[in-house]
Amino acid sequence: MGSNDFITLFFLVAAVLIFFQLRSVLGRRTGNEKPPYDPFSPRDAAGNPEGGEGGKVVTLPRREPAEGEDRFAGIDAFAKPGTELNTSLRELLKADPSFNPKEFLNGARMAYEMIVMAFADGDRKTLKNLLSREVYEGFDAAISDRESRGEVVKSTFVGIEKADITNAEIKDSEEQLTVRIISQLISATFDKSGKLIDGDSEAVAEVNDLWTFARDIRSRDPNWKLIATESEQ
């Protein structure tokens, strides 16, 4: 055997050994693996097979609850102790130890931008995954009405100026949080001939919304869904 053949055989043996070592460390597929983590995975509250175990909007990381009064530190830093909001958030945390107001708001801000832009673009697929059935039906009707007239909306999401939780409560087994969101948006609606009929294609407008998100406490799924919207003047 020549020197070149020996080197080739050496690297072949080394490759086989490395393969088996990696296989033992990383394991092998069994067909029961969980799918990749999706922060906006669809769920349908009524158990729709297309949406898993009942859809939520905002995904938040799960964490081990702290002990004693320390577990309310995040709540107290967010809402002044003794206020109605602080009391409500404490009750919510008792029912859902994974809840964290700061992390929830981060997720709500992301969901808000996704929903606003999906509505402007007429992206029903995205909306269906992020909204409750009732809210989706309202958004879908508005999009259909717009499409029937041949209108097109062109929007640019500038950003969120402020987002605050204004109310927290538990109804039956569902935790509900209302968020006041002040955002900046450039939005213009054009008719089928391309004529501007609403909004402004250059000016930045301030938008004030009250959105309510909900999550079933009994579910292991950490996602939230948008269940109500209201505009503030």
User: Which segment of 10-14, 30-34, 100-104 scores lowest on mean pLDDT?
Assistant: 30-34
163 vs 177: CA distance, rounded Å: 12
* Mean pLDDT, the chain, whole residue set: 79
Question: 205-224 pLDDT, tens per residue?
Answer: 999 999 999 999 998 878 89
Position 171 pLDDT exceeds 50: yes
Position 117 pLDDT exceeds 70: yes
Kindly report the CA angle at 155 between 108 and 107, in degrees rounded to 5?
A: 10
Residue 231's pLDDT band (cuts 50, 70, 90): confident
The residues, any chain, with a CB within 8 Å of residue 65's CB and separated by 6 or more, are 71, 97, 98
* Helix 133-148 × helix 101-121 angle, to 10°: 30
CATH class of this structure's domain 68-232: alpha beta
Q: What is the DSSP string of 39-59?
A: TT----TT--TTSSSS--S--
pLDDT at position 220, please?
82
Strand partners, 152: 190
pLDDT at position 206, please?
96
As given in the structure block, the two tokens for residue 141 are: 């009707």
Question: 177-199 pLDDT, tens per residue?
Answer: 999 999 999 999 999 999 999 99
